[in-house]
């Protein structure tokens, strides 16, 4: 039908790029976010239509693939529980990486079969005069795509707890990772030097993809569950980079623009997550944080004061302002609905209720916000640590539900703590702090939490959902 430099095709790709930009911009604000997502979806449709208008495209295989893929995507996105959202987002992301890797492989195979001159013609007008460039783009896409795919699958397995969420570490791990990186680069160099001629080049390209897949696994297994928000947003960035790199192979500006937008925004989100933990990206990726139960240097002083549901009820009944601080424990217990119910009862009782959410609470950026939104908590009640900390001493009760490291005062008080310097929610400075917890086990970082021993802290032991439900029952029987 149309050649790749036809004005209509170009216009559609430009339209797609503009719609992606507008859509992303609108995703920045709660009031416009949903429409923004829709607009970006229309952009994707424009890009797909433009591609289908290209001359020489036949549809039987495309339709088969599109139907299968759409069905899987649609069923998965509607059946996934909100508590399982982090692993689902991670998995979708992995498929993007896989697609980019397969595109690189297909292009490589095409080039090898046709020879450079003929392959150049399939790329259309404005093709590069250098096969070196295309070869570099192809191996780069293959590596990044492969790492994104296998890394995301490992992240999925960890989050779904099919494998342990704790960091998996072994002696010489960094050495092994370094060796894999070197081997990958060597195989990539072999492809670039030989270009796709002969069996050796194909073997080298296969090695590039295989090593990329291995690298994705070995670089994600040493990262612990609590650091998953960083990993998920970083892998998101990678999938964008892979798509942009694929754009350099097939010389498509639409791919380059959309891919780079995702790459950049993913990096920004990664950076926000790292800042919220006061750690560098390198520290998150390589330290195996939380692998060992660190014996805290300074023994924690004081005693733990357990509280019964009934006593907790009396404390809450008298409270005029209450702040909930949810963490991963709320997701595990699926307690978001009863938490909202308790919040409403407290409001009816005359208290001002807020939900304070730490940026890295949970297993993906914004995890707690999604769960509370599912429970129909209005987003005006969801606040950030920066809003609560300055007025925390006027808060009557802070209720910590399954959060640990993000409320650990050691981050403020103990220079030797691994958490030192991490911005936390200062619940220990509220008039009373009730901590819902299964047991005295330390959090994911394996750090003892002095909060539990503070004079104004009360521990409500047990399953978070059961405890909150019991409190709700107390309020209702009133």
- By CB under 8 A, the residues from 128 to 157 that bind other proteins are 128, 130, 133
Active-site residue, 5 included: no
Structure token pair of residue 34: 């949903």
Instruction: Choose which of 7, 81, 126, 455 interacts with other proteins (CB under 8 A).
Output: 126
Q: Judged by CB under 8 A, which stretch of 212-220, 236-244, 307-315, 465-473 contacts other proteins?
A: 236-244
Instruction: Choose which of 102, 185, 203, 281 interacts with other proteins (CB under 8 A).
Output: 102
Structure token pair of residue 11: 């216009």
168 or 284, CB closer to other proteins? Answer: 284
Residue 408 Cβ, how far from other proteins at the closest point, in Å? 19
Residue 422 Cβ, how far from other proteins at the closest point, in Å? 16
Cβ–Cβ under 8 Å, residues 146 and 99 = no
User: 163: which residues sit within 8 A by CB, 6+ positions away?
Assistant: 154, 157
Instruction: Choose which of 11, 164, 197, 253 interacts with other proteins (CB under 8 A).
Output: 253
Is 251 in a helix, a strand, or coil?
A: coil
Q: What are phi and psi of 129, to 5 degrees?
A: -90, 0
Least Cα distance to 272 among 354, 364, 371, 381 occurs for 364
Structure token pair of residue 36: 């923004």
Report the site for other proteins in 278-317 (rule: CB under 8 A): none
Residue 54 Cβ, how far from other proteins at the closest point, in Å? 7
Instruction: Choose which of 1, 109, 298, 391 interacts with other proteins (CB under 8 A).
Output: 109
Structure token pair of residue 468: 């909150």
User: 185: which residues sit within 8 A by CB, 6+ positions away?
Assistant: none
Least Cα distance to 235 among 287, 158, 136, 327 occurs for 158
Report the site for other proteins in 15-34 (rule: CB under 8 A): 16-17, 20-21, 23-25, 27-31, 33-34
Residue 147 Cβ, how far from other proteins at the closest point, in Å? 14
Q: Is 248 in the site for other proteins (CB under 8 A)?
A: yes
The helix-helix angle for 253-276 and 33-52 (nearest 10°) equals 150
Q: Judged by CB under 8 A, which stretch of 41-49, 182-190, 327-335, 398-406 contacts other proteins?
A: 41-49
37 or 416, CB closer to other proteins? Answer: 37
User: 416: which residues sit within 8 A by CB, 6+ positions away?
Assistant: 296, 297, 298
Q: Is 374 in the site for other proteins (CB under 8 A)?
A: yes
Instruction: Choose which of 8, 38, 440, 473 interacts with other proteins (CB under 8 A).
Output: 38
- In 251-405 the beta strands, taken as DSSP E runs, fall at 321-326, 352-356, 382-383, 397-401
- Name residue 461's beta-bridge partners: 437
The Cα 152–Cα 91 span in angstroms is 6
Residue 136 Cβ, how far from other proteins at the closest point, in Å? 11
Please give the DSSP secondary-structure letter assigned to residue 376. Answer: T
169 or 264, CB closer to other proteins? Answer: 264
Q: Is 70 in the site for other proteins (CB under 8 A)?
A: yes
Cβ–Cβ under 8 Å, residues 339 and 401 = yes
The Cα 201–Cα 182 span in angstroms is 18
50 or 223, CB closer to other proteins? Answer: 50
Report the site for other proteins in 255-274 (rule: CB under 8 A): 255-269, 272
103 or 223, CB closer to other proteins? Answer: 103
Dihedral of CA 262/264/266/268: which sign?
A: negative
If you count them, how many residues does the chain have?
A: 478
Q: Is 115 in the site for other proteins (CB under 8 A)?
A: no
Residue 358 Cβ, how far from other proteins at the closest point, in Å? 9
Q: What is the CA radius of gyration of the chain?
A: 26
Q: Is 52 in the site for other proteins (CB under 8 A)?
A: yes
Q: Judged by CB under 8 A, which stretch of 110-118, 176-184, 312-320, 442-450 contacts other proteins?
A: 110-118
250 or 401, CB closer to other proteins? Answer: 250
The Cα 336–Cα 401 span in angstroms is 10
Is 25 in a helix, a strand, or coil?
A: helix
Residue 103 Cβ, how far from other proteins at the closest point, in Å? 4
Instruction: Choose which of 239, 408, 426, 467 interacts with other proteins (CB under 8 A).
Output: 239
Q: Is 367 in the site for other proteins (CB under 8 A)?
A: yes
The Cα 453–Cα 441 span in angstroms is 13
Report the site for other proteins in 340-359 (rule: CB under 8 A): 357, 359
Residue 239 Cβ, how far from other proteins at the closest point, in Å? 4
Catalytic site residue from 227, 405, 414, 428: 405
* Number of other CB atoms surrounding residue 389 within 10 Å: 16
Cβ–Cβ under 8 Å, residues 36 and 25 = yes
Report the site for other proteins in 392-451 (rule: CB under 8 A): none
Residue 324 Cβ, how far from other proteins at the closest point, in Å? 15
Residues labelled catalytic: 405
């Amino acid at each position: 039908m149309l050649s790749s430099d036809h004005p209509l095709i170009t216009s559609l790709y430009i339209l797609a790029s503009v719609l992606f930009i507008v859509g992303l911009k609108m995703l920045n604000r709660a009031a416009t976010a949903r429409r923004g997502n829709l607009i970006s979806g229309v952009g994707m449709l424009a890009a797909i239509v433009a591609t289908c208008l290209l001359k020489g495209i036949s549809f039987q295989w495309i339709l088969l693939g599109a139907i299968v893929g759409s069905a899987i995507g649609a069923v998965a996105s509607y059946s996934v529980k909100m508590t399982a959202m982090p692993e689902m987002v991670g998995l979708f992301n992995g498929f993007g990486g896989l697609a980019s890797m397969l595109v690189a492989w297909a292009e490589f195979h095409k080039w090898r079969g046709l020879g450079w001159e003929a392959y150049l013609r399939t790329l259309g007008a404005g093709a590069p005069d250098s096969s070196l460039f295309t070869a570099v783009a192809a191996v780069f896409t293959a590596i990044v795509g492969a790492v994104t795919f296998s890394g995301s699958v490992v992240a999925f397995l960890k989050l779904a707890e099919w494998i342990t969420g704790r960091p998996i570490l072994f002696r010489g791990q960094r050495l092994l990772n370094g060796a894999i990186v070197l081997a990958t680069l060597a195989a990539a160099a072999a492809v670039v030097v030989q270009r796709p001629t002969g069996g050796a080049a194909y073997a080298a390209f296969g090695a590039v993809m295989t090593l990329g897949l291995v690298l994705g696994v070995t670089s994600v297994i040493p990262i612990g569950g609590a650091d998953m928000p960083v990993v998920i947003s970083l892998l998101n960035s990678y999938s964008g980079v892979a798509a942009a790199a694929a754009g350099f192979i097939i010389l498509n500006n639409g791919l380059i623009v959309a891919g780079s937008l995702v790459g950049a925004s993913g990096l920004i989100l990664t950076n926000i997550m790292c800042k919220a933990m006061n750690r560098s990206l390198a520290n998150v990726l390589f330290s195996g944080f939380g692998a060992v139960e660190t014996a805290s240097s300074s023994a924690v002083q004081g005693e733990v004061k357990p509280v019964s549901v009934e006593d907790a009820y009396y404390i809450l009944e008298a409270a005029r302002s209450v702040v909930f601080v949810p963490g991963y424990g709320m997701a595990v217990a699926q307690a978001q609905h009863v938490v909202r119910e308790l919040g409403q009862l407290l409001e009816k009782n005359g208290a001002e209720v807020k939900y304070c959410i730490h940026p890295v609470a949970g297993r993906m950026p914004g995890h707690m916000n999604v769960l509370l939104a599912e429970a129909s908590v209005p987003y005006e009640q969801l606040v950030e640590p920066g809003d609560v900390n300055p007025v925390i001493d006027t808060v009557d009760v802070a209720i910590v539900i399954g959060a640990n490291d993000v409320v650990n005062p050691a981050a403020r008080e103990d220079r030797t703590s691994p958490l030192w310097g991490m911005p936390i929610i200062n619940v220990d400075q509220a008039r009373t702090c009730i901590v819902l917890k299964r047991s005295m086990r330390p959090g994911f970082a394996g750090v003892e939490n002095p909060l539990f021993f503070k004079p104004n802290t009360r521990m409500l032991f047990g399953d978070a959902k059961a405890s909150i439900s019991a409190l709700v029952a107390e309020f209702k029987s009133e």
